[in-house]
Amino acid sequence: MLDAMVEHQRQVTAAAQVRSALRSGSPIERAVGVVMAQRHCDRATALGVLHEISGRRGVGFTVVAVEIAATAG
């Protein structure tokens, strides 16, 4: 029961973080929110994903962020 409550609170917190990031004006924060929502991960992991994509594609971090943020509408 306690594990379920902790998991629920984690999901509520993550959802709030995603909503906040998507409302912000920063493409990087919007991209982080998109990655968090898609991969059900925390902010640090999402930033790592963006860095990984940037390195793999050989393009700047901001370029990747802008492209991903654009998918959020």
Q: What is the pTM of this model?
A: 0.65
- The DSSP symbol for 24 reads S
pLDDT digits (tens, 9 = 90+) for 15-36: 666 566 556 568 999 999 999 9
pLDDT digits (tens, 9 = 90+) for 44-55: 999 999 999 999
Copy the structure tokens of residue 35: 């990655």
- The whole-angstrom separation of Cα 21 and Cα 17 is 6
Over residues 3-14, the mean pLDDT reads 76
Q: For residue 53, what are the contacts with CB-CB under 8 A and spacing of at least 6?
A: 64
Q: For residue 69, what are the contacts with CB-CB under 8 A and spacing of at least 6?
A: 27, 28, 30, 31, 34
